[in-house]
Amino acid sequence: MTETKTQNVFYRAENYRPEDSVGYLMKQIINMVSQDVERQLAHTDLTSAQWVPLFKIHFGQASTVAELARECSLDAGAMTRLLDRLEAKGLCKRVRSETDRRVVNLELTPAGTQAASEIPETLSGVQNAHLAGFSEEEFQTLRDYLRRILHNAHSIADLAHDTTSPKAEPDAAS
């Protein structure tokens, strides 16, 4: 016998209140944390939009313009403008690949490396301040819950992608 997993219904349209929504609460937290990080990094002259890509390049999460645009959820035009600003500040440079001229690699300058290396300390301090009063166990549980929500979100996105992707035409020889 197969075990059926029931899905709880936590929200109902007739009494839905955005301020009680998990999504709303997460968005508010992200906004508050981002503002605090930006305040803490004010001395570096980096905005939130700028420190994130710098951080991602420094820690190897992206090495090309296309990867960075995907990682930062930005379109090509927005990424170009952002990189223009980072280059103007002397923090990074774009280098065309010698093996594939279509690929543009990203490199941090020494000033960019220095700026990026300071970001983890700021992030740690800000996040620890926002977790004040949590026990180690509560922190681990919260992180596990958030990972579960993220896993669900990825599953939903994958399912949506599967249902909206054009299906391959059957091979006439089949």
Write the pLDDT tens digit of every residue in 83-93: 999 999 999 99
Q: For the ranges 2-6, 35-39, 54-58, 102-106, which has the lowest average pLDDT? A: 2-6
How many other C-beta atoms lie within 10 A of the C-beta of residue 52? Answer: 20
Tell me how far CA of residue 21 lies from CA of 60, 140, 152, 161, in angstroms: 34, 22, 16, 25
What distance in Å separates the CA atoms of residue 124 and residue 130, rounded to the nearest whole number? 10
How many Cα atoms within 13 Å fall on the side-chain side of residue 92?
29
Per-residue pLDDT of 125-169, as tens digits, reads 999 999 999 999 999 999 999 999 999 999 999 988 787 766 555
Q: What is the DSSP string of 63-108?
A: -BHHHHHHHTT--HHHHHHHHHHHHHTTSEEEEE-SS-TT-EEEEE
Query: According to the model, what pLDDT value does residue 174 have?
Result: 44
Q: For residue 105, which phi and psi values (nearest 5 degrees)?
A: -85, 155
Of the CA atoms within 13 Å of residue 148, those in its CB half-sphere come to 7
Return the beta strands (E) in the chain as ranges.
92-96, 104-108
Give 63-118 pLDDT, tens digit per residue.
999 999 999 999 989 999 999 999 999 999 999 989 998 898 999 999 999 999 99
In DSSP terms, 105 is beta-bridged to 64, 95
Domains along the sequence of the chain with CATH: 19-130 (1.10.10.10)
Taking the C-alpha atoms of residue 87 and residue 91, their distance in angstroms, rounded to an integer, is 6
Full-model pTM: 0.77
